[in-house]
Every structure is written in C-alpha cells, then in structure tokens.
Structure 1
C-alpha cells in the first residue's frame, strides 16, 4: 500500500503528467455528459421502453456507453470512424494509391487521416438515417418527421465528429490514445450497473449467495489475467546487424529482436465474425417464418452450441486472414536487408521472409484458438448462471479492448515516471503496452 501511495504522490508531483491526467478526465467527463443529451424532438421515456438490448444493437449501445439507447446527440459515437479506419486499412493492402501514401511518411499519414475523416462523415450520415428509421419509434417523435430526420442526421454527424475531436484532444493533451479511451469508458460505464444487478440476483432466493458471487469474481480475475497474456504475448526473433567501422566509431554489430505478437490481429477477427453471425438475426427480421425453423433459431441464440462452434471457427479463420493482410514478412525481410540486418542462421531476402512467415503461422494458431475461447466465454458464463449483462465482461470485444487500453495507459504513465527518474508503476517489472492502438480496435 505504501508503494502505491508513493507512486500516486510521484504522479501528482510531475506537473506535465498531472495536467495530462486532469485533461483526460475532463474530456471524458464531457463525453459522458454528452451521451445523455437527447436529440431535439424525441420523447426519451417512450424511446427507452422500445429499445432492444439484444444482438448487434446491444453491442453498439455498450460501446457508446448507453448513448445509443438514449438517442443521444452522440449516439453513434466513434463507431463510424472505426468503420472508416477499417476500410482504409484494407484499401492500403489492395489499392496501390493507398500503398503509396502509406510509404510517404508523415505527409502520407496526414493525407490518409484526411480521407478517413471524409469517409467517416459519409458513413455517419448513412448510419444516422438508418438509426432514425430503425431505433426511433414514430410515437417518440414530437415534431415534423421530415424536419426531425434532416436535423437529426446533421446533429448525429456533428456529434460523431465532436467525439473524434475529443479523442484527438485526449491523444494530444492527455494520456494514451483518445479513441480507445472513449470506447473503454463507454464499456466501463456499464460495469457498476451490471455488478449491482448481479449482486442483487445472487442474494435472492436460489441465487447462490455470497459464495457464488466470490467465485464469479475470482473467475473474472483469472479470465482477465489470461487475456493480458494473450495481449502481451510475443515471439521474439533475434536479428543481428552487421558491424561497420567508420573512422574511430563502430556502427551496428548489436543484436536486437523482432517481437511478433501471438495475437497480431487484435479484436478484428471477433468483429468480423460477429458481423457474419448477425446475418441470421437479420434474415429472421425480414422473414419471420424462417426464424422459427430449427436451423435459424439455433443461430439466433448466442448461447447455443451450434452458434458458438460456428463463431469460434470463423474467429480462427479471420485471425489468419487479418494477420496475413497486416503482417508482411517480405516487407520485413526487405527492410531488414536494407539496414544490414539478418536472422542468425537464415539467409537474407526470401529465406528470411519464409522463416518469419513460418513463425507467424505457428504462433497464430494458439493465438486464434485462445481468442476464440475468449469470444465465447460470455455464452459459457450465461450457461453457468451469470446474468447476460454481467457476462459480457467475461470475454469478447469489450474485455479485450478494456485490457489493451488499460495496459497502454499504464505504460504511458510509467514512461513519464521513468523519464523523471522515478520508479515505475510496478515494483517487479516494467509494463509493456501495445505496439499500436489499432491492434485492439
């Protein structure tokens, strides 16, 4: 406890770090307040009664911190921006123009960011119209429908751009990556309510009492620890650089390592797999008679065996797919060769690329299986008696995002402490954050 208190005192002593933490809290508070500002012309009482928490809508509502169900001006949150970022990331693999921009350094990155913002506006406008038609019932609208639709599309688009601006300000003036922190704070906002409901349910008749609640908390802690292992796990490939002597100075001649992540795809395989698994529910809404058949009904129940087996297989396949398009062994081998580096015992060039590709294939298999297990843990938790709302914190996208963002934020704070000659946050070792926030979103 004394170590923790001393660390907090050291954090408060550093003026720059203190200012960044206070700025982060202020910007996140603004975001949370904005999530309760309802669209003009909507009756929130009727809206809350008609909202469906299941399926994709419940997941989006969790990421938005409840703003989706509240029909807030920030209802769409940063999800359109994430969608645009995924599209641009895929285009950088398939389209030569975007590949060229990616290699142009800072100027190319600025151009890609500008294109991403324009695409975000287009996606937001389309999602805003779909949100108004699908999630705002007609009896909740108290003004002219045409006027409400036009004004709400503009407001929702402006709300998403404002959330993006808050995220950029948190990145510049605060701690860590702002977009990731905004998503995480929206997910954590559900935790107190879910924990209270779970506690009340356990102390009711037949709920299991205090022992069952303690067992659930211990199980959650174990799942979090194993998730940290998945996020942090790397396979280090040694790289030796040739020694050069220029005048009286020696350059190179040192051994470094290439850290290949066990889960290089992050949460993207879960997101892709979930998008496909929501197709049966969509078909069921269009054709109600088909939804009652045994095949479709089993895929509409996310706790069924057929749903989770299919979900796990899709995650494993998408993990290999996304890793293949984001990790380029040939490019890594060429860059290594240009800088005079080589893997000991492996020829530079094509042989090095094949060696890296083989290593990636081997470590991706256990990573993908573990990722699939984490994804289906909420369904397993529901089957053993955990409430559906609290079970979402036992795995899936929400847990991976929370673990990744917390580790990244702690790593940022520790780097500030070490830079000022203080001890780090942990007494036994350094905190290793993620290589990039995009790996978790």
Structure 2
C-alpha cells in the first residue's frame, strides 16, 4: 500500500499545480543565481585574474570560498563572496541570543521577536559583507590585475559585492517562502554542484598529463561513493524512544508509538558554521599579510591552510562545538518533558517531569557525541586525502555532506508537501 502511494505521488508530481509552481520558481531562482555568478565586477582584467586564482587560491581557504559561491570568486562576479556573510551574521545572532538578555527576551516574543532578530541579522550581514568586500578588493588591487583607478575600483567592488550578497539573501528567503526547501541551503548546494564538472575536467586533465595515477582517481571515486553511502545510512539512523499514553494505553501500544531522534540532530549547520568561522581569519591574514613571507599574518594564513595540523584541529573542535550548541538551541528536554506530561504521555519505566527531562537530555547528549564524531570524520577524511594525494583543487567533506543531507531533506519536504496536499483534499472532500 505504501509503495502504491509512493508511486502514485511520484506520478502526480507535476500534476499538482501548486507544487509545480513552487518547483518552477525554485528552478527559476537557481537559474538567476547561476547567471549572476557570471556577471563580473568591473575594473578587473579577467584573464590575469583567472591566472592569479590558479596560482594562488585554487586549493586553499579561497578555494573553499569559491566552492561555496559556485565559482563566483574565481570569476570575480557580483556573487564573489556568496552568502557566507549572512551565515556568519546568523551565527553571531544565535550566539548573542544565548548571552544578551534583551535578545533572549526577543526570542520569547514569538513571531514579532523573530522579525526583529531577522532585521538585526540583515543589518549585520551588510556590515560583514562590506568588511569582506573591502578585504577582497584590497587583495585583488595589490595583484596588479586592476585596470581602473583605486578609488573607482574600491567603490564599485564594495558596492557590487555587498549588493550581490544582499540579493542572494533575499533570493534565499524567497525560495524558502515561495519554493520548496530551505533557500540558503539550496543556494549553497547549487554552488557546490556547479563546481563538480570543472573538478571532473581537472581530474581527467591530470590523468592525461600523467600527473596523477589513474588508480588513484579510481580509488578517489570509489571513496566518494562509499562515503556518500555512509552519509545516507547514518543520516537515516534513528533512536526511537518508546512512549505510552495513560488513557489510550492499549490502542497506542498496538501502534508502537515512539519519539524518533536522529543521530545527527544538527544536520549540516555545524560544518557550514565551522567553515565560515575558520575561513575569515585565514582569509584576512592572507589578504593583509603583505609580501613579507616571514610576517606574522602570512604565518597565520599558512597555519590555517587545508591539510595543516592547526587547521584540522580547529576545524574538528569547531564542528564538535557547533554540534552541541545548535542541538541545544533546537531541542529542549524540559519543554519536551512538559509537552509529554500535558498530553498524558510518558516513557515506560521513567517518571514524568524532571526525570523524563533528564532521561531525554542523556539520550540527546549521547546522540550528539556520536553525531559530532561522525560529521567530523566525514569532513576531515577528504581534507587529509587532498593533502596526502596532492590534488590541486578543493575537495572537502563539508561539500559532500551538504549535498547529501540537503538532497535527502529536499526529497522529504516534497513528500511531506504532497502528503499535506492529499490531507487537505480529503478534508475538503469530506466537508463537501
């Protein structure tokens, strides 16, 4: 029966006018995103910039930023800094929401408070985008690829890059509201997917030039497939906590009621946050380090390059921290315990109230530990392989994790939307 419903849902994917409209809007928004990634910032010699990127930034911190922006940094387009300033502003606001009393109060005001926090996040995005745009402009200007005056170049670059980031922020919000799925996540995924063909072309070129062993490439492909399978398997893993209802115990037991908890409750947020946090110190140190190779800033930039022990240690520690932090933000054992008590539900052998909250907290902490270790391993394996095999372009587990998790989430949201539409249709039919 479930298989028949699933097949029927797939067959009617495009027959639902509202769902078709949302999918078409999503496709149109992604096309606009890819068009904008090819609109260059004025005042730069494109050929000299492409050569500079290959020599300087292909496999370092800027390579990761280029991956998140869908190749926009390499072309120095209006979307060169991508959506990362918005993500960084969101991190700051979420951290501040746990520390600043006024922001804590706003979070408790519901929709009105959320709108105010969103406004603060947007303002923070503008400032972070302006600072990052100025850093990008300073780096590009000192590479002898600018063909206009310094003042004109800085003004046009900062204006274009900040405007591009704000447009992407708006576009992501529109996708979330009028499309399917989380708009910001889908934009990041689209940027990652856009870089896959160029990576394949580079691998083929390296093999044809005998710069890399074909067996290494085959092993790399098999490793990616195996890692993808592992991510899908673990992301589908659930810890089922059984619950019973005092008034409907016989009926509910027959239905085997439980609360499902994912092993990775934080999703792709920790690696994205960790990448964003680590990216900026190394990026700015490299931009403002000057030409002195023994200077402190250049040393910091070198320490924070992919494959370096300090970078790997900081990346792992930051991922684990954000796994616990984001899980604590999104899940409250005390609130869950109160909701169970109000609905007349309880966990077998666990007393309601405070004992239930402690039990749920213990379960979540254990799951978060294993989930954090899993995300860290997935993100670090490609980093270690890239540095060991000497692959001259960015290959990160973060991008693989984002692609797989967001694809699974996108599929789930489409199925949920179809199910909601079916329920609404049945309700209307029964009322009629």
Q: Who is 1:110 aligned against? A: 115
Kindly state the Cα deviation for residue 419 of structure 1 after the two structures are TM-superposed: 5.1
Q: 1:292 Cα deviation (Å)?
A: 13
Q: 1:154 aligns with which of 139, 154, 159?
A: 159
1:172 CA drift (Å): 2.5
2:240 to 219, 233, 236: 236
CA distances 1:260-309 after superposition (whole Å, capped 9, x unpaired): 3322333444356554598678778477337899x989945633667646
CA-to-aligned-CA distance 1:79-107 (integer Å, 9 cap, x gap):
11111111111222222322332232222
C-alpha separation in 1, matches of 2:18 and 2:111: 26
| 1:95 maps to which of 100, 103, 112 | 100
**Pairwise CA distance, 1:7:** 7.1
Instruction: Give 1:39's aligned residue.
Output: 41
- Larger relative helix fraction: 2
Question: What's the counterpart of residue 192 of structure 1?
Answer: 197
Aligned length: 409
> Which of 196, 215, 222 pairs up with 2:226?
222
CA RMSD across the alignment: 3.7
Q: Tell me how far apart the structure 2 counterparts of residues 314 and 161 of structure 1 sit (CA, whole Å).
A: 27
Task: Give the distance between the partners of 1:318 and 1:412, measured in 2 at CA.
Answer: 24
SS in 2 for 1:235: strand
1:66 pairs with one of 71, 75, 89: 71
Alignment of 1:273-352 (within 5 A): 274=275, 275-276=277-278, 285=289, 288-289=293-294, 299=303, 302-303=306-307, 308=312, 311-312=315-316, 315-324=319-328, 326-352=330-356
Matched residue SS, 2:243: strand
Q: Residue 407 of structure 1 corresponds to which residue in structure 2?
A: 408
Inter-partner Cα distance in structure 2 for 1:272 and 1:27: 24
Checking the alignment, whether the CA contact within 8 Å between 1:239 and 1:344 is kept in structure 2 is: yes
CA displacement, residues 349-383 of structure 1 (integer Å, 9 cap, x when unaligned): 32222212211222222222222211111134336
Counterparts of 1:336 and 1:383 in 2: how far apart (Å)? Answer: 50
In 1, are the aligned partners of 2:43 and 2:153 still within 8 Å (CA)? Answer: yes
Paired residues of 1:60 and 1:68 also in contact (CA < 8 A)? yes
Q: Secondary structure at the residue paired with 2:393?
A: helix
Matches within 5 A, 1:118-267: 118-137=123-142, 139-205=144-210, 207-209=212-214, 213-243=217-247, 256-267=257-268
Distance change (3 Å), C-alpha of 1:14 and 1:340: same
Q: CA 1:309 to 1:124, structure 2 compared with 1: closer, same or farther past 3 Å?
A: closer
Distance (Å, rounded) in 2 between the aligned partners of 1:107 and 1:262: 33
Q: Distance in 1 between matches of 2:37 and 2:258?
A: 44
Query: Aligned pair 1:373/2:374, yes or no?
Result: no
Q: Distance in 1 between matches of 2:79 and 2:211?
A: 40
Which structure 1 segments of 5+ residues have no match?
245-249, 423-441
Distance 1:48 1:80 in 2: 24
Secondary structure in structure 1 of the residue aligned to 2:75: coil
Asked if the contact 1:61–1:69 (Cα under 8 Å) also holds between the matched residues in 2, the reply is yes
The CA deviation at 1:33 is 0.8
Instruction: Classify the secondary structure of the residue corresponding to 1:189.
Output: helix
TM-score (norm 2): 0.81
Shift of 1:406: 0.8
Q: 1:228 to 1:116 in 2, by over 3 A?
A: same
| 8 A Cα contact 2:36 2:77, kept in partner | yes
Residues in 1 aligned to 2:137 and 2:283: alpha-carbon distance in whole angstroms: 20
Q: Give the structure-1-normalised TM-score.
A: 0.79
Quick one: distance in 2 between partners of 1:53 and 1:240?
56
Separation in structure 1 between the aligned mates of residue 85 and residue 338 of structure 2, nearest angstrom: 35
Partner of 2:386: 382
Q: Secondary structure at the match of 2:260?
A: strand
Counterpart of 1:12 in structure 2 is 14
Contact in 2 for aligned 1:333/1:352 (Cα 8 Å)? yes
Q: Which runs of 5+ in 2 are unaligned?
A: 424-432
Q: Distance in 1 between matches of 2:304 and 2:373?
A: 23
